[in-house]
Amino acid sequence: MRTEGSSPAEESPVDAMVAEVDYPLFVVTTAADDEVSGCVAGFVTQCSIEPPRFLVCISKQNHSYLVAEKAAGLALHLLGAEQLEMASLFGELSGDVADKFSQCEWRAGVTGAPVLTDCAAWIEGRILHHFSVGDHAAFIMTTDHGESGPRSGQLTVKAGAVLEAGHPATDAATEETTSRQTIGDAAHRESGSGGA
Ligand SMILES: Cc1cc2nc3c(=O)[nH]c(=O)nc-3n(C[C@H](O)[C@H](O)[C@H](O)COP(=O)(O)O)c2cc1C
């Protein structure tokens, strides 16, 4: 919300909305070519009821993006309310320089994506499409497996704001035109091949 004395020119149109909303925090994991990767993600939502599907946005700067774009599937873990330490492991470190998976308990899921033991709930599914949405890429996933974990409640993006992301969220190379083109391509693939 614009505060008294600030001018509209000082505030981006999205600031007021971003200041008000909060989202659950997830850890998204993936695997390809014998490499595992994963990062914290707040840009996550269910995007279809029938068939059930989730959309996960991964920054193109992230190690996880480089692995996910070659991967068959994703595992998505809801973090419990007290899991700031897990959020720090996956949100403040980058797979570019750190082995996150030697520091937590996991097993390989059906798609190969690491399934973390310590979470509030997880799902695993296949990647149907991924397409550019700006500085992030959106991954649409099926929801083939999943169960509750030992944690309860949910950690949120606002609670995670104390963390310093391992990668900057964006860089100068945001491509709006490419984004529109690839979204169009994805829509075409969906209608042509059926997916899921
Ligand atoms: C609160 C919070 C929310 C985040 N949300 C996202 C997100 O939605 N998508 C994303 O790609 N990165 C997000 N990040 C940043 C990545 O988790 C972080 O840069 C991570 O270190 C990248 O790891 P990687 O390079 O191993 O993939 C978030 C980080 C924090 C602390």
The pLDDT > 70 percentage for the chain reads 82
Ligand 1 centre and the CA of 8: distance in Å?
A: 29
Give 79-133 pLDDT, tens digit per residue: 999 999 999 999 999 999 999 999 999 999 999 999 999 999 999 999 999 999 9
**Range with the largest mean pLDDT of 4-13, 22-31, 164-173:** 22-31
Report the 10 Å Cβ neighbour count for 14: 8
pLDDT band at 7 (very low <50, low <70, confident <90, very high): low
* pLDDT computed for residue 191 by the predictor: 42
CA 146 → CA 45, 100, 138, distances in Å?
16, 22, 21
Alpha carbon nearest to ligand 1 atom 7, residue: 41
Q: How confident is the model at residue 69 (pLDDT cuts 50, 70, 90)?
A: very high
Check residue 188 and give its pLDDT: 40
Nearest to 75 by CA among 166, 147, 160: 147
Examine the pLDDT at 54 and tell me if it is beyond 90.
Answer: yes
List of domains in the chain: 22-193 (2.30.110.10)
Which residue's CA is the closest to the ligand 1 atom numbered 4? 41
Instruction: Indicate if the pLDDT at residue 192 is higher than 90.
Output: no
pLDDT tens figures, 146-170: 999 999 999 999 999 999 999 887 7
Q: Which two tokens stand for residue 89?
A: 């492991």
Predicted local confidence at residue 30, as pLDDT: 98
Tokens of 114: 């690491």
pLDDT at 171: 66
Residue 12, pLDDT score: 86
Cα 27 to averaged position of ligand 1 atoms, centre (Å): 9
181 Cα–ligand 1 center, Å: 25
Residues with CB under 6 A from ligand 1: 25, 37, 39-43, 57-59, 62-64, 91-96, 136, 157, 160, 163, 165-167
The confidence score (pLDDT) of residue 147 equals 98
pLDDT band at residue 9 using 50, 70 and 90 as cut-offs: low
**Angstrom distance (rounded) from CA 110 to CA 12:** 43
Residue in this structure with the two tokens 């190969």, named with its chain if needed: 112
Q: What is the mean pLDDT of residues 161-183?
A: 63
Report pLDDT for 8.
Answer: 52
pLDDT of residue 170: 72
Cα(150) to ligand 1 centroid in Å equals 23
